Amino acid sequence: MAWSSRRRASTRSSWRSTDRSGPVCGSASKPHRSLRSRSTAPASTSEAVRAIGVGRMPLDVLSRNELNVCPGSRISAVTPMVDYPTPRSAVTHPDDARPDAKAFGPGFLTPVARDDRSTAGTAGSDLGSRYRAVIDHLPAVLYIDGVAAGTSVLDVSPRIRDLLGIEPAEWVETYDRWQERVHPDDRERVVAACERSIATGAPFRVQYRGLHRSGAVVWIREEAVLIRDASGDPQYWLGIMIDQSELIEAQDGLRDARSKYGALVEQIPAIVYIDLADESMLSTYVSPQIEDILGVTPQAYLDDPDLWSSMLHPEDRARAIATYTRGRETGEAFTMEYRLIGPDGRVVWFQDSALVLKDPDGRPSLIQGVMLDITERKRAEERLAFLAYHDNLTSLPNKAMFDELLELALARLGHEAGDHLIAALAERLRGAIRDTDLIARQGGDEFLLLLADIEPTPGPAGTDGVTLAAIQVADRVQQLLESPFELDGTELYASVSVGISLYPADAADAGGLLRNADAAMFRAKRSGPGGYVVHQADGSDALTKLSLSTRLRKAVDQQSWTLHYQPLIELGTGDMYGVEALIRWPDPNGGMVAPGEFIPLAEEMGLIDAIGGWVVDEIGRQDAIWREQGIELEIGFNLSPRQLWQDDPVGRIARQIRDAGMDPARVTVEVTESTAMDDPDHTL
């Protein structure tokens, strides 16, 4: 990097200080920048020779002795100062080195003049120009500053204009007023740093606020190093000034956010923690609330990586550690409840909810969690559970506990009756299968049915006939168990939960089929007695056909339906000319069961005709009430696809309408296009 000086010709300066005691830091009347000094006694013009600054080197005026130029000689070239990894001329190839190149520091070559009367310095000029272009476009201010008495700043890059609003030439000419461009609150500190660097020769490093010409405050980080020649003599200061305003602003914002959110975290009634998601599981942060809630200081918690696991309640330890480890390894969020035992013996219930953060490669890196103290909630739950089975006044078991214990006792004492029921159940199951099928008892109250060479049952387009056939078998089993069992003069009712697994859709071997059927059966049990579940290969509950067939059959027997009538409006006049009957099934647990949920099940179970017959009868009853009130409306209702497949659907529905006492001319039976096209062959 090569620069030239912009100083006036009347000023003379020496490249090397002749004062070996060190540069002067300022004058008594006005402090001067520590790294620079002003000349008070210009050198004699006769003792100096003007050099040609090739590549804008700062060699405006140099001593003849310094350059070692013979009288009458002409300086034709100057070697630019270039940053090489290893100075070739000084170290690598001494025999092939240029005689005018000298090293005074790692990676630099000195700008030494060469007495060459025959060769022009165009190559050096081109190289210097290229490096100057690089310097001019760096996002920082670079400068060269003299070290000797009688020298000042030699050159500064154009970025000084962007940093402080000052032209480079003005900066050079008015550099003795540099302190005026430092914020008053930082001025004394910056001057002291300059003085220390001059006194010790150590690098100058300081961050301060500068004053832009517009009055704006600019944060600046400035660093400078003292460049020496091969003999160790100081040559000049090479420095850089970098705008730190955006960085400082970002740091201030981060501190403000940390202060604000840190205060928020420390106010919530919970313990916030951050752990490393690696094998060490070290905690890097825990909020101060841990001391109030658990009696452990944050520092003690951070210092002992095994403290959390050691405080876990023995009954909760294995489960909590397994949940935590699984979340750390898989990267999945987790929530768990467990007890910790504090140093003073207190037992605290926690609900621990955590997120696992991942690095750019997708690997778990941090675990951020919140431990909520739920001790009071747990105590309340325990109290409610106690009161549910105990008398509040005497604390004795109440009637509810007595009944449950009685049932348990009867169940324990009634093994013989249970055996009789199992035998009777097996006999009925034989009636639900073909001779070619196999029924076996797996143990307890569980049975296995093997349906070989099952014939597909016709169904709507897109449905699996084999699955429908298996469902029909499950439905027959449910029907066989509807009637009570007579055992020693006592009627007993039994329900069955069925799990269905199909080959090869669900598994390719016997073990897989049994496991899948078993899993489907347990899902059916969780949904209540009397249902079935068809296993899905992807295990998705959304695709699992789960139904409580006993509830549906009971709803058919009890006619637990209702019709909603949707008005039909003539758009031209706004008059209502009719209604459409829509069937709904009130859910005993609240709300309504949508037709899309129970109509397909009713079709599979063969109950759709009974439901359709009830709809026509109910429409006839309501139509009679309206006619008595003088209201005659068109009434429409929908047919299911399965009703269309029966023999003579038109004649059968017409008979139902006449039997209900309705005028067929006012009845509209709707078959949607999508319903008709589910199975075009059956529809035609």
Is residue 20, in this structure, part of any structural domain at all? no
In whole angstroms, give the CA distance from residue 253 to residue 239: 29
Q: Tell me if 342 is assigned to some domain.
A: yes
Q: Say how far apart CA 233 and CA 213 lie, in whole Å.
A: 37
pLDDT tens digit string along 142-170?
988 877 544 567 788 999 999 999 998 88
- Mark whether 538 and 655 lie in a shared domain: no
Mean pLDDT confidence for 250-263: 68
DSSP 285-305: EE-THHHHHHS--HHHHHH-T
Based on the fold, state whether residues 480 and 525 are members of the same structural domain: yes
User: Is the model's pLDDT at 441 over the cut of 70?
Assistant: yes
90 and 227 fall within a common domain: yes
Q: Are 236 and 280 part of one and the same domain?
A: no
Confidence class of residue 672 from pLDDT cuts 50, 70 and 90?
low
Percentage of residues in the chain having pLDDT higher than 90? 20
Domain boundary at 218, 247, 276, which?
247
- Assess whether 527 and 516 both reside in one domain: yes
Asked whether residue 9 is assigned to any structural domain, the reply reads no
Reported as a pLDDT band with limits 50, 70 and 90, residue 291 is: very high
Same domain, 54 and 195: yes
Q: What pLDDT is recorded for position 675?
A: 55
Of the two residues 493 and 76, the one the predictor is more confident about is 493
Q: Does residue 210 have a pLDDT over 90?
A: yes
Which of 373, 395, 423 is a domain's end point? 373
Residue 256 lies in a domain: no
- The domain of 283 spans 267-373
CA distance 644 to 567: 26
Residue 183 domain flag: yes
For residue 415, the model assigns a pLDDT of 65
Average pLDDT value over all residues in the chain: 74
Residue 567: alpha-carbon gap to chain centroid: 49
311: domain CATH number is 3.30.450.20
Count of structural domains, the chain: 5
Residue 527 above 90 pLDDT? Answer: no
Does the structure show a pLDDT above 50 at 433? yes
Are 364 and 393 within one domain? no
Q: Which of 512, 547, 582 is the last residue before a domain boundary?
A: 547
pLDDT above 50: residue 38:
no
Look at residue 565 and tell me if it is in a domain.
Answer: yes
**Domain containing 443 — which CATH number?**
3.30.70.270
Q: Is residue 477 part of a domain?
A: yes
> What's the confidence (pLDDT) of residue 678?
55
Q: Render pLDDT for 447-480 as a digit per residue (tens, 0 to 9).
A: 898 888 777 877 655 567 788 888 888 888 888 8
Bridge pairing between strands 334-341 and 347-358: antiparallel
∠ CA 467-472-474, rounded to 5°: 95
List, for residues 133-148, the tens digit of each pLDDT value: 777 778 899 988 877 5
End-to-end CA distance of the chain: 92
Residue 6 pLDDT: 32
Helices then strands, each counted (H, E), the chain: 22, 26
pLDDT tens-digit profile of 471-499? 888 888 888 888 888 877 777 778 888 88
Rounded to an integer, the average pLDDT of 93-117 is 42
- Does one domain contain both 385 and 320? no
SS3 35: coil
Confidence of residue 19 (pLDDT cuts 50, 70, 90): very low
Whether residues 470 and 605 fall in one domain: no
Shared domain for 533 and 567, answered yes or no, is: no
pTM (whole model) above 0.75: no
> Are 612 and 637 within one domain?
yes
- Does residue 259 form part of some domain? no
For residues 484 and 611, membership in a common domain is answered with no
